[in-house]
Amino acid sequence: MDMNQYLTMFIDESNDHLQSLNENMLQLESNPDDIGIVQIIFRSAHTLKGMAATMGYEDLASLTHQMENVLDLVRNEKLKMQDFIFDTLFKSLDALESMVQDITEGGDGKADVSSIVASLQSIVRGEGASSGGAAAEGDNSAVAVQGIELDEFQFSVLDQSISEGHKVLYIQVTLREDCQLKAVRAYMVFETLERSGEIVKTYPDVQEIEQGEFDRVFSLYYITQRETQDIESQILGVSEIETTTVVALDHESLQQMVQESAATAEAVKPQVSEAAPAAVASPEAKSPSAPAKESKAPARNAGGGNPSRTIRVDIERLDVLMNLFSELLIDRVRLEQLASESKNQELTDTVEHMSRVSSDLQNIVLKLRMVPVDTVFNRFPRMVRDLAKTLDKKIDLIITGAETELDRTVIDEIGDPLVHLLRNSADHGVEPVADRIAAGKPETGTVHLRAFHSGNNVFIEIEDDGRGIYRDKILKNALAKGVVTEAEAATMTDDEVNQLLFAPGFSTAEKISDVSGRGVGLDVVKSKIVALGGNVTIYSTPGKGTNFSVQLPLTLSIIAAMLIRMGSEKYAIPLSSIVETGIIKRGQIKHVHGSRMIQFRESLIPVISLSRLFEIPDFDEELEEETEIVVIRKGDRLAALTIDDFIGQSEIVIKNLGKYLPAIQGVSGATILGDGQVALIIDANAFIK
Amino acid sequence: MGEEIKVIVFRLGEEEYGIEVDKVQTIERMMPITRVPKTYAFVKGVINLRGVVIPVINLRGRFGLEEVEATDQTRVIIVAVNDMQVGFIVDSASDVIDLNTDSIDNPPEVVGGIKAKYLRGVAKVGEERLLVMLNLSEVLNKSEIIQLEGLEE
């Protein structure tokens, strides 16, 4: 069978499972006694194993298999989760991730996992674990898999359930001889049963059943409140089932049944173990439908019902849709122009209606590309956990607003800058436990990661309650590095001093930790975020903590802009960087120390001649007595651009200039106007130093 | 035996040039070009090619030939190399011919003042006709192009 067609599905689902494994492991780490979480983890690992085996990725399968063995002991309460077990399991997850990554990049997913496998095996054997008893019992459970023999724990669960007035049923299901997908049918039976009770033990083992590795019959122990007949009819409701036997058990019959099966177990054993290696080869096992369906179950369990009804769409298709839509938008603007010229009422009405429809459409198209920031945030809990371990600190990461949505293109880019900032907070912000206690703070530091909407922006804040930033230390370092002069340093506000951390020269300091440690690579973070059309600011109170606030645009593809004319040329200035427009007289321009300035509100701001910067051939404001200006803003600094004329405000679709042209300072892209002409988009940020 | 290739033939002044047809996306008539400030002199600007913004180069300027006014013979050849789409302004483009790669000789030291490294070779077509085959990735190579000055006032 050609596996390639399932490869994307495999990769997507594997990543989903790895993510859920990571998340649940973290949860388990904070509630080590919650067996419910172990169950979810087990199922995820199990599905992953099945998928990997089906696709022929043996290293992946064998590693997950070992993880499963450990988890199986944990969920049966034969092994208590401990730090070293968590560490080994996390290490396994990392290994799995890199294997899946390798597969994604076209590799064969092979990796040397022998050392991790060995440590997992030693955990199963009970070595290194403080509970010496786990070893012996662990081995027992491996035997107990064969036959419908119950181990002591399972037996006592069933026995106790009977005492508590639950129904304990022994169910045997026989599939029709012509049943095509045995594993799927079995899975459907399991799912039906799990809706109204709990399956305690199956024969053959669940994983063998899921791989279709059984003849036509499988049986299980089941605890429920429902009537025997109810259950029977539910099972028969699944298609391709021939018969089912449902027997209600009491204390005695349970005892008897277990003894009988224990006797036959010995006889069955060789047969089963022989069949096990063949599992991968059986055709049903290769069918992806079983693992695919299975994978939905843990998600549902974790989410508490309400499965989200979504489909996966290739991002490239969305890009095509976006491009087509932007062409529609260009035509719309053109139509509006024509309609207003022709003064035909019917045409105007139609165009107006079309405008409304297309702006609704625009909203939908943009929303399609929106992804919750959760997709970026979800890797951080694990990262912060590992960081805290390496740094020997205690850190709580509290995430809020993970459902906030951002354009896919922004999401893809924002991960690395956030990693930097979080590392900074964990590494340099939050103090070691001893220091925190000395400072009268709780020994566990808190890092808040929050995302929220505000206007046309999304803010992502990273706030720690660590030691904060000390002005003196930064200034000292900045002076030493020549980033600022003595005179500048004396007049800088605290916020300006904080912003120094983003200064390019600052980050190259070899040993930055002596300046309350900030500054490693922060200039890279800043430039990346600015390149996305966003901004980042720092607020800090010495001794109390630091807050990095990242501001990002909702989308990168459609913006509101002011169209202007410069002689025969047209340009677009994003509205987000415009403060005000106006007209000034030549006499209002003052010359200060060689540069031209005007009075704007309370301050003097520089006047920038766009015609000179862009060497515009047929316009020069020198010839004008009165000049239109656009006051632009970068952060809290302002400047006035002199222009020829305003055309008006419009929604524009941002197009890039292609790879051939070098980056042109002052131009951030291009757009296509209603008349089909290309207009360049002015990058106001580049004009203000 | 070399392979048979199809070649688009265009003119710059008196000379005929060729580009493999699989590198050429389309040939367009001259269209409005939006000037891009602060870039190479031979970059005439950008055009809107059915919704895609594409930079346009005057190939005469790129080869250091004297630039001429556009006529109704002037064409823009859109090529795509290494993920880049670029339009070449040429004096005219009319012909598509079949060529055997064996008939392409190594470039002579200097052809019509154009540096030989832009050239893949010279193909002899029929008895009289010589076709200069372009080395597109060299023509679009930017490493030799001097860095532009920053935007200072």
Name residues 35-64 of chain B within 8 A of A (Cβ).
35-39, 43, 45-48, 50-55
Quote the pLDDT of residue A261.
Answer: 63
Q: Sheet of A241-249: strands edge to edge? A: A197-203, A217-224, A167-175, A241-249
Under an 8 A CB cutoff, do B34 and A659 touch?
Answer: no
Q: What does the alpha-carbon distance between residue A450 and residue A112 come to, in Å, rounded to a whole number?
A: 38
* Backbone Cα Rg of chain A: 33
Q: pLDDT higher for A588 or A369? A: A588
Asked if A667 reaches chain B (Cβ–Cβ under 8 Å), the answer is: yes
Q: A677 and B142 in contact by Cβ < 8 A?
A: no
φ, ψ for residue A649 (rounded to 5)? -90, 145
Whether residue A458 contacts residue A452, with contact meaning beta carbons closer than 8 Å, is answered with yes
- pLDDT at site A126: 72
Is some CB atom of chain B closer than 8 A to the CB atom of A299? no
Strands B52-58 and A645-653, sheet pairing: unpaired
Judged by CB atoms closer than 8 Å, whether chains meet at A678 and B53 is answered as yes
Q: What amino acid occupies position A410?
A: V
Q: CA of B49: which chain A residue's CA is closest?
A: A676
Check if the beta carbon of residue A290 is closer than 8 Å to that of residue A181. Answer: yes
User: Cβ separation of B153 and A608 shorter than 8 Å?
Assistant: yes
Within 10 Å of residue A267's Cβ, how many Cβ atoms? 9
A660–B83 CB contact, under 8 Å: no
Q: How far apart are CA A182 and CA A177, in angstroms?
A: 10
As a whole number of angstroms, the distance between CA B57 and CA B140 comes to: 10
The long-range contacts involving A452-458, CB below 8 angstroms and separated by at least 24 positions, are A452/A401, A452/A404, A453/A404, A453/A554, A456/A553, A456/A554, A456/A576, A457/A534, A457/A551, A457/A552, A457/A553, A457/A554, A458/A373, A458/A404, A458/A405, A458/A406, A458/A551, A458/A552, A458/A553, A458/A554
Residue A2 Cα distances to A6, A108, B2, B30, angstroms: 8, 15, 37, 50
Q: Write down the pLDDT at residue A148.
A: 66
- How many beta-carbon pairs under 8 angstroms link A with B? 88
The CATH-assigned architecture of domain B4-144 is: Beta Barrel (2.40)
For residue A222, the model assigns a pLDDT of: 85
Quick check: A680 pLDDT over 90? yes
Question: Closest-CA residue in chain B for A673?
Answer: B48
Cα–Cα distance, A498 to A518 (Å, whole number): 10
Q: How far is Cα A202 from Cα A487, in angstroms, rounded to an integer?
A: 79
Convert the pLDDT of each residue in A596-615 to its tens digit: 899 888 888 999 988 888 88
Angle at B81 between CA B75 and CA B84, to 5 degrees: 85
How many residues does the structure list for chain B?
153
Is A664 in Cβ contact with B38 (below 8 Å)?
yes
Q: What is the DSSP letter of A344?
A: -
Mean per-residue pLDDT for A364-392? 85
* Residue-by-residue pLDDT tens, chain B, 153 positions: 678 888 899 988 888 888 988 889 999 999 999 999 888 888 899 998 887 899 999 888 887 778 888 888 899 999 988 778 899 999 988 788 888 888 787 766 655 555 566 777 888 887 778 888 887 877 777 654 443 333 333
Percentage, residues of chain A above pLDDT 90: 6
pLDDT in tens, A235-255: 887 777 877 878 777 777 777
| Contact criterion met (CB < 8 Å) for B55 and A677 | no
pLDDT tens digit sequence for A332-354: 877 888 888 888 889 989 998 98
**Cα separation, B107 vs A173, whole angstroms:** 80
Q: How many residues does chain A have?
A: 689
Q: Indicate the residue of A613, A661, A679 with minimum beta-carbon distance to B153.
A: A613
- The confidence score (pLDDT) of residue A199 equals 82
In tens, the pLDDT along A447-484 reads 999 998 877 678 999 999 988 888 888 888 778 777 77
Please answer whether residues A333 and A673 qualify as being in contact, where contact means their C-beta atoms are separated by less than 8 angstroms. yes
Residue with tokens 């207003």: A340
What tens digit of pLDDT does each residue of A101-143 get?
A: 888 887 777 777 778 888 888 888 776 543 333 333 333 333 3
Of B90, B84, B76, nearest in space to B12 by CA: B90
CA dist., res. A460 & res. A613, Å (int): 35
pLDDT of residue B76: 93
Whether A102 contacts A111, CB under 8 Å: yes
Helix residue ranges per DSSP H, A398-485? 408-424, 433-438, 471-481
Contact A466, A442 (CB under 8 A): no
Buried b / exposed e across A228-238, counting CB within 10 Å, b at 16+? eeebbebbeeb
Residue of B nearest to A324 (CA): B51
Q: Does A659 touch chain B (CB under 8 A)?
A: yes
Which residue from A617, A660, A687 is facing B55, i.e. has the nearest CB? A660
- Chain A environment of B84 (Cβ under 8 Å): 658-660
> Which residues of B, range 72-101, sit inside 8 Å of A by Cβ?
82-86
Q: How confident is the model at residue A287 (pLDDT cuts 50, 70, 90)?
A: very low
Higher pLDDT, A37 or A483: A37
Identify all chain A residues contacting B38, using CB atoms and an 8 Å cutoff: 614-615, 664-667
pLDDT exceeds cutoff 90 at A369: no
Smallest CA–CA distance, residue B125 to chain A, in Å, is: 32
- The helix or strand, by DSSP H or E, that contains position A385, with its residue range, turns out to be helix A380-391
Is the per-residue pLDDT at A73 higher than 80? yes
The ipTM, to two decimals, is 0.84
User: Beta strand pairing status for A678-682 and A569-574?
Assistant: parallel
Residue A266 CB neighbour total at 10 angstroms: 12
For residue A266, pLDDT over 80 is answered with no
Nearest CA in chain B to A689: B152
Which amino acids of A are annotated catalytic?
A: 46, 68, 424
> CB of A412 within 8 A of CB of A426?
no
Binary contact (A609, B153; C-beta < 8 A): yes
Span A392-427, pLDDT tens digits: 888 899 999 988 888 887 888 888 888 888 888 888
Tell me if B150 and A677 make a contact (CB, 8 A cut-off). no
Distances (CA, A) of B140 to B11, B44, B148: 18, 14, 16
Both tokens assigned to A430? 């939050």
Whole-angstrom distance, CA of residue B47 vs CA of residue A673: 12
Q: How far apart are CA A170 and CA A341, in angstroms?
A: 82
pLDDT score at B116: 60
- The answer to which of A142-151, A152-161, A445-454 has the lowest mean pLDDT is A142-151
Distance (Å) from the alpha carbon of A653 to chain B's nearest alpha carbon: 10
Q: What pLDDT, on a 0 to 100 scale, did the predictor assign at position A3?
A: 62
Mean residue pLDDT across chain A: 78
pLDDT of residue B108: 65
The reply to whether A657 touches chain B by the CB within 8 Å rule is: yes
pLDDT digits (tens, 9 = 90+) for A191-219: 888 878 888 888 777 777 777 777 778 88
State pTM to two decimals.
0.50
The H-or-E segment that residue A14 falls in is: helix A4-30
DSSP A621: G
| Domain residue extents for chain B | 4-144
> How confident is the model at residue A142, as a pLDDT?
33
When CB atoms are compared, the residue of A569, A659, A676 closest to B35 is: A569
A325 CB neighbours in chain B (<8 A) are none
